[in-house]
Structures are given as structure tokens and as C-alpha cells.
Chain A
Amino acid sequence: MPRQLQQTRRRILLSPACAPLLHACTQAAETAAVPASRETPQELSRHLLRLLLALGLAGAAGCGYTSTYVPPDDGRARVVWRDGSAAALVPAQSEACWRAVQKASGTTQPLVVDPAPAASVSHGGYVHLPVWVHVHHPHHHLHDHGHHAAIAHSGASPSGPHKAVSAGAPSGGSSSVRSSSTDFRLLIAAATVALVSAPVVAIALALDEPERPAEVAAAADLVNALNDLTRAPGSPCAATAEVTP
């Protein structure tokens, strides 16, 4: 196993959160270690791009932040950070309360409460609701945890392309001049494709947001409306919730 690959594996294993990336990272490192001379330009550039993407994922690895906050059981809703984005953590409420929340939050989207959300997680008497707001299909959740989970420590060193250079370079004069020339052409073609594509990936990562704005806005509106209604005299939420002062 090439030394670079071993180092990559070791670094990735240091971060348990990066485990799902292990395959992609190691595969990319393996492909980077393959001698370039047997590859077509398309394959080589694909391997290079895969390596760059794996680097980006490794750079973003760790999901950034894992909150350990556990709310007290006081009947209030909260916006919390879960699975790489913000989510509404709400106490169980009656149907009438949910309808009032929908009306109060002024959303034109129908709020649909899944009575038993499959992906819900209990937190000390609370239910971690996926943002169950959707326009078209009542049972289709907008929330899709984990996709933006991004991760922390860089896993691979950017030495892959260097290695590809040395692999493709003529050494010792045993190979023919034509072969080494072809290697260079392949390398140049692959590097050009990678070089033109990589800035798009880098800038997209630099400008991207970890949260999903529509879900965050919906979660914040839900929490604010619900907390308001639990304190509004005569509201259906006030009747079902015991909010400590």
C-alpha cells in the first residue's frame, strides 16, 4: 500500500465522523497512486477531480458542530442545531394548537403534522421534528438530515498530483521517447480539465452555507409562533402547554 494511502487512511480514521468518507478518500488516494501512463485523459481527469472532491469533503469533514444541548422539559419550543442544520425542537401539542400555529405564523404552506414521524428523536420529553412543512405532498418531509453535514479535518495531503507527475515522468531512459511524450500529453490534458473545474468546486464550497435556509426559516417561524401561542391567553396551545414563567 502506498505510503500516501496509509497516511490518508490514518488521518481519516482519527475523525470518527469522517468514517463515511473513508471509502471515497481512500479510493481517490488509490487512484492518484495509479501510474498515469495506463489512463486515458478522461479517466485521469476523472480521477483527479475525484481526488479534489474528496479533498473538499475531507476539508469539510466532521459536520462542523455537534450540539450537546438538551432542553429542560418546560414546554417551550426551541431552534436547535442538529445534524448539520437548524431544526425545531418542539413539545408535543394538540391538533388544534398546530392549526393555530399555522395560522399565526402566516405561512401559506399547509403545515402537516406527522403523528408519528419515522425519523423523530426524543430529547427529554421533546420530539425533534423534522421540519414537516411541505407544499405538495402531505407526507413528504422537506427535512433531509445529514446531507450538509460537513466535517472537519483535512484528510489527504495535496501531494496526489505531484505523485502523478513523478509517475508520468520518464525515468531511467528505459521507456521510449514516444511513450514519455504521451504520458506528458495525458497528464497535461487531465491537469487542464482538473484545473478548469476545481475553482468552481472551491468557490462553491467557500460560498456555501451549511444550513438549509428554507428549513431554518420554517423552523424559526414555527418555534416563535408556538412559544407565542403558549403564552397567549385563550389560545389552544396555552390550554395544552404548561410553560414555566
Chain B
Amino acid sequence: MKRAALSRRVLVATALLVGAGCAAPATTYRPVHAAPTELTVRYGDEFEVWAADAPVARGLRYQGLDEVVRCVPEAKRHAEAASRSGSAAGVLSGFSIGLAVGGLAGLSGFAFEDDRVTAAFLVSGVVIEALAIVLGGQSLSQKAKANGHALDAVNLYNDAVGYDGRGCGPAVAPPSLP
């Protein structure tokens, strides 16, 4: 009984230690003197853009960032590019993982006794895997673009209207239909 209890404790302690070691790094500082219109960058599992102590956009898609920075044309352009790249990264990641898994079907070539057929299946699988790797690399590249554009958008907006408290004003609601 004592041994079982000890084993449980060791298991729990190990799980806690592993969990603590795997905790994703995150920002801990909360700005208190930032202007209400100022955008600040924080980081949890991903990039986050905050204004007035509330998140306005987060990576990788950065939805809503272009609306917040809309009155600074260059910042808006970067925010839109960030959103596009983030979306592209998601699609590319999905295709890459799908192809990586699908390419394993090439191993089914071992079901055939003819070496040529087996080789054809395997090589087809390798070609698919090569494509998956290229798409995975492209996905990584698009993620970098998304984050880079988003940071540029934040900085350009803050330089223009964020730090001085002007901001872009409230979001313009679309005209209501009669």
C-alpha cells in the first residue's frame, strides 16, 4: 500500500514538473501608463495586440487590427498583409500536415509482391512528402510575415496617432438598410 502511494506521489510530482517545464512563456507585465489609444504587444501562446487593457487582435490572423489602425494608411496596409499572411499560413499548415499524413499511403506499396510496384508507391509517397515539407516551410515563412507585418502596423500606428491619444476614433458602423 505504502509503495503504491509513493508511486502515485512520484507520478504526480513528475507530471507537475513536466507541466511546469512545458509552460509556454508569456508576458507578465501589464502597462498602466499607456494611452487609451496606444497599442501594446503582449505574448501568450501567440502575439497579442492590446489597447486600453483589452485585446484587439491576436496572431496569426490578426483579425480586427486593420480596423483599429485604419486611419494610418501604411499601418493599415501592414495590418491587412498580416491578416492575409496569417490566413495563408493556416491553409499551408493544413495542407502540409494533410499531405504528410497522406504520403504515408506510399507504404501500402509493400502489399504488392512486384518490386517495381512497391518502388512506385514508395517513390510517390516520397514525392508527396517532399511537397508537404515545402508547404510546411512556406507556412513557417508566412507566419513570420504575419507577425512582422503586425508589429510594423502597431509601431506605425502608435507613432502616428497611438501614443498621443488621438487614435482612429470609434469604428464606423456600416449604414443601416432602410
- Interface of A toward B, CB cutoff 8 Å: 48, 51-53, 55-67, 69, 71-72, 74, 76, 78-81, 84, 86, 104-107, 148, 150-152, 154, 158-162, 164-165, 168, 181, 184-185, 187-188, 191-192, 194-196, 198-199, 201-211, 213-214, 216-218, 220-221, 223-225, 227-228, 231-232, 244-245
On whether the beta carbons of A220 and B42 are closer than 8 Å, the reply is yes
* Contacting residues of chain B (20-72) with chain A, CB-CB under 8 angstroms: 24-34, 40-43, 45-47
Q: Provided the pairs A67-B152, A150-B141, A150-B144 are in contact, do residues A202 and B122 lie with their beta carbons within 8 angstroms?
A: no
B119 proximity list for chain A (CB < 8 A): 165, 168, 184, 187-188, 191
On whether the beta carbons of B115 and A188 are closer than 8 Å, the reply is yes
B161 located at the interface, meaning its Cβ lies under 8 Å from any Cβ of chain A in the complex = no
On whether the beta carbons of A210 and B140 are closer than 8 Å, the reply is yes
A187 — nearest CB in chain B belongs to which residue?
Answer: B119
B103 proximity list for chain A (CB < 8 A): 195, 198-199
Residues of chain B at interface, number, CB under 8 A = 70
Complexed CA–CA distance, A195 and B103 (Å)? 8
Pick out which of these stretches binds chain A: B1-9, B10-18, B125-133, B170-178: B125-133
On whether the beta carbons of A64 and B148 are closer than 8 Å, the reply is yes
On whether the beta carbons of A203 and B100 are closer than 8 Å, the reply is yes
On whether the beta carbons of A213 and B25 are closer than 8 Å, the reply is yes
A69 — nearest CB in chain B belongs to which residue?
Answer: B152
A101 — nearest CB in chain B belongs to which residue?
Answer: B29
On whether the beta carbons of A158 and B127 are closer than 8 Å, the reply is yes
On whether the beta carbons of B131 and A217 are closer than 8 Å, the reply is no
Within the complex, the shortest CB–CB distance from A198 to chain B, in Å, comes to 3
Complexed CA–CA distance, A210 and B145 (Å)? 9
On whether the beta carbons of B25 and A214 are closer than 8 Å, the reply is yes
Q: Provided the pairs A60-B141, A150-B137, A188-B122 are in contact, do residues A202 and B148 lie with their beta carbons within 8 angstroms?
A: no
- Residue in B47, B93, B100, B163 whose CB lies within 8 Å of A216: B47
On whether the beta carbons of B140 and A64 are closer than 8 Å, the reply is yes
On whether the beta carbons of B130 and A158 are closer than 8 Å, the reply is yes
Complexed CA–CA distance, A206 and B140 (Å)? 7
B79 located at the interface, meaning its Cβ lies under 8 Å from any Cβ of chain A in the complex = no
On whether the beta carbons of B29 and A192 are closer than 8 Å, the reply is no
How many pairs, one residue from A and one from B, have CB atoms within 8 Å of each other in the complex? Answer: 256
B29 proximity list for chain A (CB < 8 A): 104-106, 220-221, 224-225, 228
Per DSSP, are chain B's interface residues mostly helix, strand or loop, or mixed?
helix
Given contacts A48-B126, A152-B138, A195-B129, 9 further A-B contacts (CB under 8 A): A52-B133, A59-B141, A106-B29, A165-B119, A191-B106, A206-B94, A209-B46, A216-B25, A245-B164
- Interface of B toward A, CB cutoff 8 Å: 24-34, 40-43, 45-47, 85, 92-94, 96-97, 99-101, 103-104, 106-107, 115-116, 118-120, 122-123, 125-127, 129-145, 147-149, 151-152, 154-156, 158-159, 163-164
A210 — nearest CB in chain B belongs to which residue?
Answer: B144
- Residue in B32, B139, B164 whose CB lies within 8 Å of A206: B139
Q: Provided the pairs A106-B29, A107-B28, A192-B107 are in contact, do residues A69 and B156 lie with their beta carbons within 8 angstroms?
A: yes
On whether the beta carbons of A206 and B127 are closer than 8 Å, the reply is no
Q: Provided the pairs A67-B152, A150-B141, A228-B31 are in contact, do residues A188 and B93 lie with their beta carbons within 8 angstroms?
A: no
Q: Provided the pairs A67-B152, A107-B28, A195-B106 are in contact, do residues A187 and B132 lie with their beta carbons within 8 angstroms?
A: no
A52 proximity list for chain B (CB < 8 A): 126, 129-130, 133
